[in-house]
Amino acid sequence: MKLPFFSRSKLLVLLLLAAVLIACGSDGNENSASTNGVVDGATSATNADAETTDSPPAAASDSEPEEMTFTTVTDADEGEDLPPTPNAAELAATQAALLPPQGPVDACALLSEEEAAAFLGVGITSVEKDENTHTGECKYIAQTVTDRLYLKIAWTPNFGAGDYAFLKSAGAAPREEGSDIGDDYYIRSETDGVYLYVVRGEQYLRLSVASAWHEPDEPLKELARQLLAEIPPTE
């Protein structure tokens, strides 16, 4: 059966319109999918940003410096005792040990036997000498029938000021003291006799007589003056 020309024309138009609609529908779906993808991507990005914003801040880097606290430990905290302060005698001995070796000190060279006999008033029967590199001693002994008298000289030519100061502070109160002999002197009664101590610079002179000595102190002081007058002061 043949359709009229007009009917065929309408049919062609309808088919063409249907094809256009199908094509437009397909593009619309694709555009819709693309639009949905963009929206979904934006939504995901927004959610990610929100999660980043809500997340707690990351921990500080290990490389960042931390505040350090220092504690000072003293000897008292450790329970350690500080070394004792050396006394004058120890300092003098240390000084003498650090010096170059010195020759023996001959205290007997300061006074002859005749001078010692004149001082004691009797003849000298023996002389005892003790020499070392720090202090020399000489003991003049006068033995009589009833008494044993002696005069002893101890002489420290160098670094004797410490010995002098130590002995003065360690013993009993002097019975006489002054500065008109050497730099300083004092006289003290000991168990074995009477002692006169005198210091001049670093020179230290000690005179002693036996306990049987009953003369006043002036003879000892005069003997000390005599010896110091014959001994040149150290530089």
In a domain, 113, yes or no: yes
Concatenating the DSSP letter of every residue in 40-85 gives HHHHHHHHHHHHHHHSPPPPPPTTS----------HHHHTPPPPPP
Please, what's the largest Cα pairwise distance for the chain? Answer: 191
Report if pTM > 0.85.
no
In a domain, 97, yes or no: yes
Number of domains forming the structure of the chain: 1
In a domain, 30, yes or no: no
In a domain, 121, yes or no: yes
**For 35-52, what is each residue's pLDDT tens digit?**
444 445 444 444 444 444
Exposure string for 61-89, b = 16+ CB within 10 A, e = fewer: eeeeeeeeeeeeeeeeeeeeeeeeeeebe
Domain range for 132 is 88-230
Give the CATH number, domain containing residue 210: 3.40.1000
In a domain, 52, yes or no: no
In a domain, 62, yes or no: no
**CA atoms of 62 and 22, how far apart (whole Å):** 64
**For 160-174, what is each residue's pLDDT tens digit?**
999 999 989 888 889
pLDDT at position 203 is 94
**CA atoms of 117 and 149, how far apart (whole Å):** 10
